[in-house]
Amino acid sequence: MASVTSSELMAKIVSLCKRRGFIFQSSEIYGGLNSCYDYGPLGAELKNNLKQSWMNAMVREHDNIEGLDSSILMHPKIWEASGHVANFVDPLVDCKTCKGRFRADQLEMATCGLKPSKTPKTCGGEFTEARSFNLMFKTFMGALEDQSAVVYLRPETAQGIYVNFLNVMSTSRQKIPFGIAQIGKAFRNEITPGNFIFRTREFEQMEMQYFVKPGQDEAELERWKEIRLKWHLDLGLKANKLRFHQHGPKELAHYAKAAFDIQYEFPFGWQEIEGLHNRSDFDLGNHQQASSKKLGVFDEETKSTYTPYIIETSVGCDRVLLTTLVDAYDEETMAGDDEGPRVVLRLSPKIAPVKAVVLPLMKKEGLPERAEKIMADLRKNWRVQYDESGSIGKRYRRADEAGTPFAITVDQEAGTVTVRERDSMKQERISESNVVEYLRKFLN
């Protein structure tokens, strides 16, 4: 790709997402709602493919991992026991000069409200003392709006898993070690959301909690680090853009005994896309104490009861989606092309929102009918699209921008079609009756 600055690259991705229906600003016709986004047709397909890939990798490929879908609103005591009421806080400062609000520990990553080329650390503004700001959204349950009716929107899906630990273990007849996986919305009243969908106030998490015997936790954390890194590589992310970052003592969340991030090198720097935590017996131990329900497991070998340790893998679906877009975005200058560089999303065919587009060369001579027959066969297997408007070059470009890996062109040569591969732009002529089998090799 021709050299573009990091802010130009992000602006291009945001513009492509809107233009092609991946992601829209939420409540746009009312001027938008800060840090909330809606997924359009292509974005919703991409997100579903990512969730499907995660569910397959975690639940279908592991006989000892079960799925769960717990509620967003839970008993408020859960958030006291989990430590979130007391500890899920960020240090907040106000700038007396520009009136902006910033996270005191991330001043170098924010932008000054009056001098956009400076950060709040370098603009010379004067700050208030840092104070703790709890990130949980509160609402009221029932008709009364008093303290007794307060409930929280969950800031992580994990707690829904912990409070269902015994339910799942007994109904699925699992034994330690085993895991519970779920995908669901989480909410955080972030002080400084930003970088498009990287940090938002409403987002989706894909979390797996793996219950192990104390003493096996460290080895399990190492094992899950490798499994999870491989998942990101299998999505097609570039290996040189991924790395682990180990949390130092000051970075560790209140529940973590040890933690590693999987980081990606975004245009705005290396940032966390997934967190892996050794949560020890912190969560089950606290819930056991606060609920007075026994959450221990009987060990047949030692004839004693213990509280399992938890290894957690936690990845943001929206954040991974942004990562796949950043990783896949490319511009290619082509000789003699007056339409400007070709914009192409080199998404892995496995996650591409649309797998193939069918293009009749002309709207006559029976080509649309042949194309429709191919569409009928393809749509039984994958999400595909039909496009008959504009020149064939323009139609290829539309498909490239959407990340569609294959374009099938129906021309006058009866019985055959050409298949154009998005990245190499190479074309191959194949039998018209063989299109599904041909694509299956690349897509399944």
List of residues contacting ligand GAP (CB under 6 A): 156, 158, 188, 190, 199-200, 203, 205, 207, 272-275, 312, 314-316, 318-319
| Cβ proximity to ligand GAP, 154 vs 422, nearer residue | 154
The runs of H, that is alpha helices, within 203-244 are 217-234
The runs of H, that is alpha helices, within 329-426 are 367-379, 392-401
**Minimum gap (Å) between residue 273 Cβ and ligand GAP:** 5
**Minimum gap (Å) between residue 378 Cβ and ligand GAP:** 33
Helical (H) or strand (E) element with 402: none
Cis check: omega of the bond before 177, within 30 degrees of 0: yes
| Cβ proximity to ligand GAP, 196 vs 406, nearer residue | 196
How far, rounded to the nearest angstrom, does the alpha carbon of residue 414 sit from its chain's CA centroid?
44
| Cβ proximity to ligand GAP, 312 vs 401, nearer residue | 312
**Minimum gap (Å) between residue 189 Cβ and ligand GAP:** 9
**Minimum gap (Å) between residue 190 Cβ and ligand GAP:** 5
| Cβ proximity to ligand GAP, 194 vs 368, nearer residue | 194
| Cβ proximity to ligand GAP, 42 vs 158, nearer residue | 158
- The answer to whether 349 and 382 are in contact (CB under 8 A) is no
| Cβ proximity to ligand GAP, 262 vs 435, nearer residue | 262
**Minimum gap (Å) between residue 271 Cβ and ligand GAP:** 9
* Burial of residue 219, with CB atoms counted within 10 A of its CB: 0-12 exposed, 13-18 middle, 19 or more buried: exposed
DSSP assigned state of 422: T
- The answer to whether 16 and 329 are in contact (CB under 8 A) is yes
What values do phi and psi take at 317, rounded to 5?
-65, -45
How far, rounded to the nearest angstrom, does the alpha carbon of residue 444 sit from its chain's CA centroid?
22
**Minimum gap (Å) between residue 391 Cβ and ligand GAP:** 40
- Closest CB to ligand GAP belongs to which residue? 316
- The answer to whether 181 and 191 are in contact (CB under 8 A) is no
What number of other Cβ atoms are within 10 A of residue 71's Cβ?
A: 8
| Cβ proximity to ligand GAP, 268 vs 386, nearer residue | 268
Sequence letter at residue 111: T
**Minimum gap (Å) between residue 295 Cβ and ligand GAP:** 18
| Cβ proximity to ligand GAP, 217 vs 272, nearer residue | 272
C-alpha to C-alpha distance for 405 and 383, rounded to whole angstroms:
12
| Cβ proximity to ligand GAP, 49 vs 409, nearer residue | 49
Helical (H) or strand (E) element with 44: helix 41-55
**Minimum gap (Å) between residue 188 Cβ and ligand GAP:** 5
Q: Show the tokens assigned to 29.
A: 């016709």
C-alpha to C-alpha distance for 420 and 431, rounded to whole angstroms:
14
**Minimum gap (Å) between residue 353 Cβ and ligand GAP:** 20
Q: Show the tokens assigned to 423.
A: 């990245």
C-alpha to C-alpha distance for 81 and 287, rounded to whole angstroms:
6
**Minimum gap (Å) between residue 290 Cβ and ligand GAP:** 18
Q: Give me the residue label for tokens 């894909």.
A: 206
| Cβ proximity to ligand GAP, 273 vs 408, nearer residue | 273
DSSP assigned state of 361: S
For residue 178, the cross-strand partners are 211
What values do phi and psi take at 196, rounded to 5?
60, -125
Neighbouring residues of 113: CB distance < 8 A, sequence distance ≥ 6: 95, 98, 99, 100
**Minimum gap (Å) between residue 253 Cβ and ligand GAP:** 7
| Cβ proximity to ligand GAP, 37 vs 406, nearer residue | 37
- The answer to whether 192 and 102 are in contact (CB under 8 A) is yes
